[in-house]
Structure 1
């Protein structure tokens, strides 16, 4: 039988090729990592953004300042040198605007039949008429402009917005000169229209490109890691470039919660999930169980689930040894003078987060210690044990934050140690724990959870009528948004004060 035997060199090359293929596969998996959060902007959202954007553009244009410029035109046998200064836009109108998604590219914004009125100082110098000056008004009409923005992800996970194309057409530029001492400037007005038209044709798209570059630089300065509180931070970086379709644009965010100062990824990865095929709301935010699990792990690592309940925190009743007379009377009898009670819960593992159809479950495991605080400030252990509690989580959105409040459904307690001299009956201990968990521990937990999880949002916007739908393995928030002008925000601050 004839056969070919590979040389040691061939074997080495095959090994290198195998290693190279493995690295490529590994890198592709890392590049196409599943997101922990998804954001969808719909055509409805884009139209609202266009409306607000055009209002802001009008405000910005009317405040814009422009550099002076000069030129020279030939009028019959004379050369006219002119200077245009103190240029300002007095009025602008955008009667027809539209915005649309360009699949695979980004966003198109177009303005049709726009008009503007510009005023400036003029100064002219010619050997025939010497010098003269005055004010001028420029009327621009029939302006059409279409700008296409390309959206992508840069190497640091920031959103990148670049100018992909700019088309411009101006139907008419009319110039009216005021002031001056000669009738000839009426004729010169027509000669100024050409350079102004040319100036606009040449510089308007360049000006837009410059503004987009400034916006791009501002986006890069935005920190994609946002602080939640003293314990945790959220990574909102993009894991891939935005996916642009004809009706919407999807952004995939990392959505990992870390302890402050420790950006070690959790030992689990996000599973793929999909937003519903809906575009009725302006904005959709998909939150995976990975996001909630990473938050649970981060808070656990930061020690946020270790809770000590003292008499001061038990606002609804006195947490002291007299309380035991309703559950374990022999404990209450032992302490002739009521002593404050300390209840310590130390999480033994991160709370498990389970997202099922229309429900969210948190399962918490803790080591429980109950102490009596004696008059000399020392503590005496009453009992210890292991606690497993199952809670139903209610999810609401208040002031741009996902609020989680828990309701105790059931728990299991195993007694590890009981103070000598007392009967080790589990039932009275469980009754005491049930009462204390419901009335003290759960309110403390809800107070902590009520301050957490800021949602991804645009500056100066509030969510309008958000709805939460819990699915298997993820939840979806559908909402409209409202943009607050600075005046509205100032009024809101004054009303609060």
Structure 2
């Protein structure tokens, strides 16, 4: 009835609305352009040639009649000796996936033959020359339920212009007999099995994609979620992959209390690859390391390699310390972040502002520590961003420091002197330690045997854009 139809209509509308709402904005975007696809095609064809020449094929048998005599034959040890793909092309199919075509391909196949008939047995070698081979394949790309990229064969077309068979060895009359009869079965077998073999190979590729880890370990503290948040968007000039791009503390996979803002990649095709990194990605990394306790650092005299971190150095900044420490004692700086560093991306600038507290101790000759003072500090640092080996490398430079005293065993006459000491300590000892950790980088991609060539980083309001070519080695 009308009521039931109306209910179904509203139910369908609700499902569509929910599906739109559930497709979250990505933290990372990847765009492959036509230039990137063409490079992938060239590399793929070379790898395909190498794989085909190593391929092994099962034996096959058949039966033909010659006058009243039935002849059974077996073709074994098939191997491809040469293959050529003179004309190849690849393109994006909007809304579907990728099209790959090979025209005027040729191959030379060798094998052994053996025949058996009434009162007659013979064997020898066979050479098959295939020319004018045309293959057009369309791959459909999508997202599976676990956020993995999925690839399936959508369509396969095949045509063969010529199959020539030449037999070696055996009796000459058998040559002409078998040669004439084998050309058609070989053509039929290729017509039947080539697209099936392509389908099988794509299924194997899809299985490998499903095994690919979408949660990657950065270090002992954090992991990145690379799962797709929506199906790949395929356009005529490119394909877009929207990745979750959330950094979690290891073993703690609760989403941050903020969501990614929408952002767009530039409408360009000069580079093979465009990577979009939202401020959400960096903010989730900041929160993850804060929750993991990685931002709590203790700097000792051993770690302060560029200067002697001891009470003698203190005297130069804070004269009031001199009466209490006539003999130089090592100093410990304990720094603890009180909130995740705030990340700000503006035009050509990335700023990190960290709020925390610092406690300063002297290490006495008997290895005990004596408390000197504690306070709150706010450090503003500029982040220099570079790309190395598919990783985003962040290097910090202190721009400004503000300090307020909480408690002290000494009376400080000028707080600016204490602030100067802390600023010097941060620049010389603390930030180098942090930069050493950050130098391990945040993995943006996980492409085996591939390097990024000539990457350029552009900092925009709320996101970064990395344009790069790639090189397969």
Bin for the TM-score computed over the shorter chain: over 0.9
| Cα separation, 2, equivalents of 1:379 and 1:139 | 85
What secondary structure, in the 3-state scheme, does the structure 2 residue paired with 1:149 have?
strand
Cα deviation for residue 20 of structure 1 reads 10
Quick one: distance in 2 between partners of 1:27 and 1:479? 33
* Structure 1 residue 424, shift from structure 2 partner: 4.8
Render the CA deviation track for 1:233-283: whole Å, top value 9, x for unaligned.
Answer: 000000001000111000000000000011100000000000000110000
Q: How high is the TM-score relative to the length of structure 1?
A: 0.91
Which residue pairs with 2:126 in the alignment?
136
5+ residue gaps in structure 2?
Answer: none
Tell me whether 291-300 or 369-378 shows the greater mean CA deviation.
369-378
2:451 corresponds to which residue? 462
Q: Helix, strand or coil: the match of 1:214? A: helix
Q: Secondary structure at the match of 2:443?
A: coil
Residues 51 and 18 of structure 1, relative CA distance in 2, 3 Å threshold? closer
- Which structure 1 residue ranges, 4+ long, deviate > 6 Å from structure 2? 17-24
Q: How many residues are paired up?
A: 468
- What corresponds to 2:221 in structure 1? 231
Instruction: Provide closer, same or farther for how the CA distance between residues 300 and 22 of structure 1 changes in structure 2, counting only shifts above 3 A.
Output: farther
Aligned partners of 2:112, 2:297: CA distance in 1, in Å? 71
The unaligned stretches of length 5 or more in structure 1 are 1-9, 485-497
Gap change, CA 1:186 and 1:26, over 3 Å in 2: closer
Match of 1:489 in 2: none
The 3-state SS of whatever aligns with 1:434 is helix
Q: Is the 1:176–1:186 Cα contact (8 Å) retained in structure 2?
A: no
Q: Name 1:186's counterpart in structure 2.
A: 176
Rounded Cα–Cα distance in structure 2 between residues aligned with 1:200 and 1:94: 17
Matched, 1:441 2:430: yes
Tell me how far apart the structure 2 counterparts of residues 404 and 75 of structure 1 sit (CA, whole Å): 77
Equivalent in the alignment of 1:272 = 262
- Residue aligned with 1:272, SS: coil
| Rounded Cα–Cα distance in structure 2 between residues aligned with 1:28 and 1:473 | 23
Conservation of the 8 A alpha-carbon contact between 1:75 and 1:188:
no
Q: Is the 8 A contact 1:229 1:452 kept in 2?
A: no
Which residue does 2:232 correspond to in 1? 242
Alignment of 1:1-400 (within 5 A): 25-26=17-18, 28-30=20-22, 32-127=23-118, 130-400=120-390
- Does the 8 Å contact 1:372/1:380 carry over to 2? yes
- The residue aligned with 2:470 is 481
* Root-mean-square deviation over aligned CA pairs: 1.9
Q: Distance in 2 between matches of 1:22 and 1:134?
A: 70
Q: CA deviation at 1:464?
A: 0.3
Please identify, of 341-350 and 331-340, the stretch whose mean Cα deviation from structure 2 is larger. 331-340
